[in-house]
Amino acid sequence: MLTILFVAFLLIEVCGRFWLSSRQIRHVMQHRETVPAEFREKISLASHQRAADYTVARARLGMFERLFDATVLVCLTLLGGLQQIDLWVSALTTHDLLRQILLLVVLTVIVSALGLPFSLFRQFRLEEKFGFNRMTLRLFVMDMIKGTMVGAALGLPLIAAVLWLMAQAGSFWWIWAWALWAAFNLLALFIFPTWIAPLFNKFTPLSDEALAIRIRDLAHRAGFGLSGLYVMDGSKRSAHGNAYFTGFGKSRRIVFFDTLLGKLSASEIIAVLAHELGHFKHHHVTKRMIKGFAGALVFFALLGWLAQQTWFYTDLGVLPHLNGRNDGMALILFFLVLPVFMFALTPVFSWFSRKDEFEADRFATQQSDAQDLVSALVKLYDDNASTLTPDPVHSAFYDSHPPASVRIRHLLTSP
């Protein structure tokens, strides 16, 4: 039964993504030759066409990549790929915990290697073609090595602890595993800004003291404690501009990409940060974290039940070990197939995200000039080659932010 459901949901997901991407491509190309009226004085036709071409190129690559990923998924599950990998790993060691950790490591390496050509193409062909890539091949390789080392240092102990709990903590192991996972995520929020992020980028204090004073005043009005204002050398990888909040509690900091500071005026930067502080003021981050932890608890409970069902393995192309633990395989199967069944919920998550964006925008208009935020957004849409004419259905299904025209109309009409 699970086999039929898995194939049906996979077909729905792949066909659904192709249909949505086809709509997006068709809609964007139909509007390629005309800049929307509300943007005509601020964005040139050449920039609008560049954004359309960039959007279409990304959509086409995404379609091909999803088809490839779906093929790999079927090969790993129904066509016996995982079974063969498990047999090979089992021949290397009979130690249960080591065997399962090795199985997870080998699968991660295989999947990462299969996805590497897409990462290389996206960075050095697609992003390069549209003028966004600043990364060298050497930096790409160094990032990959560092990412692997950090992932191993943090991930392997976590996986080992979860596997140990699955074997030793009884039928309610999933509660303890969930608590461990939640604690790990909270710890990551603390250590990321000061320990992990500096491994990949250089962070320097914001040197514009006048801007820093305005930012601290804005943060104080919003009740947002800051540990620092930093500029990140994002330009060594990409021409895309961005800014973000990071950290938790007293470790909070605001980070600007150096590419952003040269594009926006001080008032526009304040408006953008006011929007981000709106998320904090409305407790969006905390609410999302609570919802995420609650959802994870449900998934851990479901995994706790599925891991005990023989059909869960056999219907997905794997013969479970009769004289050993199958916890590692249960984790692999669960997280491989879960996205297929979750696809239908994508528009629900997108809707809630857009709702939060509108609330944050309203807060920004109360703390800064709405025209400054509109001006900043238009510049960012232009510089990042974000399409101004997305397909409405595609946007409603996927987009975490409202379409440009809808968002700006709300900003200009909000009380």
The answer to whether residues 198 and 232 touch, using CB atoms and an 8 Å cutoff, is no
Out of 276, 327, 356, 382, the active site residue is 276
The verdict on whether residue 279 carries a ligand-binding annotation is yes
Token reading at 122: 């996206």
Out of 327, 361, 382, 391, the active site residue is 361
Query: 255 - beta bridge partners?
Result: 230, 244
Tell me, yes or no, if 208 is annotated catalytic: no
Q: Which residues contact 367 (CB under 8 A, 6 or more apart)?
A: 218, 221, 222, 274, 277, 278
Q: How far apart are the first and last CA of the chain?
A: 54
Alpha-helical runs (H) found in 192-283: 209-221, 258-261, 266-281
Q: Which residues contact 196 (CB under 8 A, 6 or more apart)?
A: 150, 188
Tell me, yes or no, if 361 is annotated catalytic: yes
Region of residue 35 (left: phi > 0; alpha: psi -120 to 50; beta: else): beta
The verdict on whether residue 209 carries a ligand-binding annotation is no
CA distance 382 to 361: 19
Residues across the chain: 415
Question: Which phi and psi angles does 315 have, rounded to 5°?
Answer: -70, -15
The verdict on whether residue 275 carries a ligand-binding annotation is yes
> Which positions make up the binding site for Zn(2+)?
275, 279, 357
> Which positions make up the binding site?
275, 279, 357
User: Any idea which residues carry the catalytic annotation?
Assistant: 276, 361
